[in-house]
Amino acid sequence: MGATVIGSQFTPLSMTTQTPIRVAVTGAAGNIGYALLWRIASGDCFGTNQPVILQLLEIPPGMQRLDGVIMELRDSAFPLVHDIIGTDNAEIAFNDADAIFLVGSRPRTKDMDRSDLVAANGPIFVGQGKAIDAVASRNVKVITVGNPCNTNALIASANAPGISSRQFTAMTRLDQNRAVGLMAQRAGVPASKVQDVFIWGNHANTMYPDPRFGTVDGKSATDLFDSDWLQGSFLDTVATRGKSIIMARGASSAASAASAAVDHMRDWWQGSNGRIVSVSLRSEGWYGVPEGIVFSFPCRCEGGQVTVVEDLPVDAFAQAKIDENVAALLEERDAVSDLLG
């Protein structure tokens, strides 16, 4: 069946003379994609002077809904949006892409465990990895949002051998933002006052929000909050926040996930200004984490590059959490070994 393509050749006036970048979003008509697109189009992600061409991917049954999303984007008349392309063909969506948000994936249902989710979504990311390898910019920046995002990022990267594995990342920024929000709420300060709290491991309930290097309004987080809270209620609340949101609103996190994806890509693209942020990368042995799994590390971003902060001490509690996440991710990797090329 031939590819379906919606739109294109839409070029409104812009206040900038910069060359547009091509930004691909998969699952673009879904709840996260819908929330994400307006943030990208407004300049929140790549900068208020950076025009974009949006290349939006959906599965064939979602194309009518995507048509409606594109209508709304056009009706919003964003000056930075130079063109919009909607398609069900990955090679069209990823063609010359400078940044890719891999959002679309099969959602987890109540009768599925995590291994079922890995098995269901793995093949999607094989195809998308191959398409990225075939047609995307050699300098493309890829963030994987669709779950299980760490292992999906690994699958996509393994199937794109022509692109550096460092250009494939997975999103644990949502976990970081949840941790920051909880600390800010408890301290009675804006979230902007909380710095350098980051995530180790997997985007799952095993992830570890490390408070030891964090500050709250300039004060050490570990001095401000007692260890019982940090290793108890704080940790548990961050780990189960997604489930709590589903129970409260009857649907999974969408706006907060989109916002975290914007934060992740914005810092990667524009720099984190010296702040430590959470990025899941294919391990090169940092902190003793085995090579060949995508793991969240403390990172800084500068000049379009992500660098792992390698000199942080690891105490016994953090090490136990790192080891727990390593074990989980090795198990996931082994479950998809046939998809890794």
Cα angle value 332/338/341 (rounded, 5°): 110
> CA nearest 198: which of 117, 279, 258?
279
* Active-site residue, selected from the candidate residues 22, 141, 203, 241: 203
> Token pair for residue 216?
């709250």
CB atoms within 10 A of CB 323: 13
How buried is 8 (Cβ within 10 angstroms: 0-12 exposed, 13-18 middle, 19+ buried)? Answer: middle
The set of residues, in sequence order, having a beta carbon less than 8 Å from that of 157 and lying 6+ positions away, is 129, 142, 163, 165, 168, 282, 294
Q: Is 82 annotated in the active site? A: no
Closest CA to 285 of 308, 255, 265: 308
H helix or E strand, kind and range, residue 229: helix 227-230
CA 138, CA 287: separation in Å to the nearest integer? 29
Runs of H (alpha helix) within 7-113: 31-41, 63-76, 90-93
Q: Which residues are part of the catalytic machinery?
A: 203
